[in-house]
Structure 1
Amino acid sequence: MKRNEQTHTTRRNLLLGGTALLALTACGDTSKFRHYSGPHVTEVQVFKAKRRMYLLSGREVLKTYKIGLGGNPIGPKQFEGDSKTPEGTYFIDRRNPNSAYHLSLGISYPNAQDRAFAEAQGKKPGGDIFIHGRAKKNKGRGKDWTAGCIAVKDKEIEEIYAMIANGTVIHIFP
C-alpha cells in the first residue's frame, strides 16, 4: 500500500512540475533586452516627411522603421515646448533602460549651435530628445504625438536599443 502511495505522489509531482515547466515555456522570453550580433550600425538616418528611420552599416540599410514625431512635425526644433523634432546631425549619447517609454536612446540635442540660436532669441532650446517606444499606454494616439522625440513600437525599440551603440551618428532630415 505504501509503495502505491509513493508511486502516486511521484507521478503527481512529475505531472505538476511538467505542467509548470510547460506554462513557463509558453510565456516565452519577456525580457525587453535583446542581443544583436549583426553588422555594426554606423549611422541612423531619419526622414521626418516620410516618417521613416533607417539603420545603416556603411551604405547598406540594415533596418527600416515607421516612426512618429513631435506633435508639431513641420520644421526644426528650436525652442523648449515647441513639440518639434530636431533637424541636423547629432549623436546617440545615452541609454535609458528604465524609460517611461519602454526603452530609449538619447539624442545629443541641443548642440552648441542650437543653444546659441535659442539664447539669441531669449529662449531655451529644450532637450531630452530620444528615440523611444510607445509604452503601450500611448498606442492609438496617432502618428505624431511626442514632445519632439522619435517614437517606434515597443518591440522595435528593443531591437534598435540592441543594435545602436552610444556615439552612433544620427542625421535627422526635414
Structure 2
Amino acid sequence: MRILTAREVLPQSRVVFWLVLIVVMTAIPAHAQQITAGKNGYRIVVQKTDQVLDLYRGDQLLKRYKVCLGMNPFGPKKVTGDSKTPEGDYFICYKTESSKFCRFLGISYPGSEDAMHAFEAGTISLDKRNHIMGSERNGATPPWNTMLGGWVGIHGYPTDKYEKRWAVLLYPKPHNWTDGCIAMWDFEIQELFRLVDVGTPVYIRP
C-alpha cells in the first residue's frame, strides 16, 4: 500500500474543511445569519407572556420596561387586523419622531419566516414572499401593505390630548390596547429611541 505524502494529504484536508464549512453554513437559516447584533451592541428582547421589554448591550441587561401589547396578545401575528403582536426574530427598520404615538421604532415584520408560512398557507403570492425575504436580506423595511399587515413597532401613548387622556385612563399598563404594536410610556420610548439605531435586533418571544 502506498503511503500518501504530506503534499498529497494537505490538499485533501483542505477539500474536507471547505466541504464541512459549506454544509454548516447552508444549515443555518438565512434570518439567523442576518440578525446577530446591532452596530452599537444593543438588542431588544420582548417576552409577551410577562409583558416586558428587555434592553441588552452584549450579555448585560441594561433595563427592563413593562409594556402593552396587541389587544389579542396570544399567538403570533398572521394577518392584518388580527390585533396580535408578532413573534420571531426581527430588527429595527425605521425610526421617526413624527408619530402620533410620541416616537416610533418600526419593526421588520413581516419577516422571512412569516412570509414563508403565509405563502405555504396561500395567504400571499410568490412575488410578495420574495419581496419580504429580499427586504430582510438587505436589512430594509419590508412591504407593509400585504395581507400579513405592517406598521408594527414600539411606540408611546397617543400625542393627541383627547386620545391620550382616554388611553391613560382606560388602558394603563399592563392592559393590552394596541393593534399589535408594543407600547410604553412616553418618557420610556424617548429614552429607548435615543439609544437604539436602525438595525438593532428585536427578538419577540411568546
Q: For the superposition of Structure 1 and Structure 2, which TM-score range results when normalised by the shorter chain?
A: 0.7 to 0.9
- Residues 42-74 of structure 1: per-residue CA shift (max 9 Å, x gap): 210000000000100011111110000000000
2:192 equivalent to 1:160: yes
Are 1:41 and 1:164, in contact at CA under 8 Å, matched by a contact in 2? no
User: How many corresponding residue pairs?
Assistant: 135
What percent of counterpart residues are identical?
41
Residue 41 of structure 1 deviates from its aligned partner by 4.8
SS of alignment partner, residue 101 of structure 1:
coil
Bigger CA radius of gyration: 1
Amino acid at match of 2:197: A
Residue 140 of structure 1 deviates from its aligned partner by 2.8
1:74 is matched with 74
Aligned-pair Cα RMSD in Å:
1.3
2:170 equivalent to 1:141: yes
Distance of 1:111 and 1:170 partners within structure 2? 12
Residue 135 of structure 1 deviates from its aligned partner by 2.3
User: Which deviates more from structure 2 when the two are superposed, residues 87-96 or residues 121-130?
Assistant: 121-130
Amino acid at match of 2:177: W
Residue 114 of structure 1 deviates from its aligned partner by 1.0
Are 1:77 and 1:86, in contact at CA under 8 Å, matched by a contact in 2? yes
2:121 equivalent to 1:92: no
Residue 83 of structure 1 deviates from its aligned partner by 0.4
Distance of 1:121 and 1:97 partners within structure 2? 36
- Residues 13-41 of structure 1: per-residue CA shift (max 9 Å, x gap): xxxxxxxxxxxxxxxxxxxxxxxxxxx45
1:131 is matched with 154
2:202 equivalent to 1:170: yes
1:46 is matched with 46
The two structures have a TM-score, normalised by structure 2, of: 0.62
Amino acid at match of 1:164: V
Give the number of the structure whose residues are more often strand, by fraction.
Answer: 1
Distance of 2:197 and 2:70 partners within structure 1? 24
Distance of 2:169 and 2:196 partners within structure 1? 27
The two structures have a TM-score, normalised by structure 1, of: 0.73
Residue 165 of structure 1 deviates from its aligned partner by 0.9
Give the number of the structure whose residues are more often helix, by fraction.
Answer: 2
Distance of 1:42 and 1:112 partners within structure 2? 22
Q: Which runs of 5+ in 1 are unaligned?
A: 1-39
Are 1:119 and 1:125, in contact at CA under 8 Å, matched by a contact in 2? no
